[in-house]
Structure 1
C-alpha cells in the first residue's frame, strides 16, 4: 500500500485548517453569531463565510497558478487576502 508523503508544507496547511476549524468552533460556542449581509449576495454566518472563503481561496490559488507564471507565494498571498476580505466584510 502506498502512503501519502507528508511534507512540512502539507502538514502545516492541514494543521492550519484544523486549527482554524477548532478556533471557529470555540468562538461560536462562546459567542453565537447571527446571519448578516455583507458584500456577498446572501446573509451569512461566520461559518458560512469561512466555507465560502476557503473554497474561493482554493479556486483563486488554482486560477493564478494555471493562468499566470507568478510564484506560488504570490498565489498564496492573494488567497489569504481573499480569505480575510470575505471573513471581515463578506
Structure 2
C-alpha cells in the first residue's frame, strides 16, 4: 500500500467509519430497525439516516474548505449538529 499516503488523520478517518458501521450492525441485530417518517416525508431507517449524515457532512466540509480559511474544526462542529438534526427529525 505504498501508493497511498497513509497518514494518522487518514487512518483515523477510516477506522472511525469502520467502527461506525460495526456499531450500526450490532444495533440493527440487537434492536431491530423500524422505519420512521420524518420531515423529508420518506420512510428512513438508521442506516439511511447514517448515509444522509455522512453525505451531508462531506458537503459541509467541502463547502467549508471552499468558503473559509479557518481550520476544519468548525466544520466538524457544524457536521455534528447536522448529524443530531438528521438522526432526530429525518
* TM more than 0.5: yes
Tell me which protein shows more strand as a share of its residues.
2
Q: CA RMSD in A?
A: 1.6
SS in 1 for 2:22: helix
The 5 Å alignment of 1:1-90 reads: 3-90=3-90
Give the 4+ runs in structure 1 shifted more than 2 A.
none
- TM-score normalized with structure 1 length: 0.88
Q: Please, which runs of 5 or more residues in structure 1 have no aligned partner?
A: none
Shift of 1:84: 2.4
Q: TM-score, normalised by structure 2?
A: 0.88
Q: 1:24-80: per-residue Cα shift (whole Å, max 9, x none)?
A: 001001111111112233121100000011001101110111012222111122122
Query: Could you tell me how far apart the structure 1 residues matched to 2:89 and 2:3 are?
Result: 40
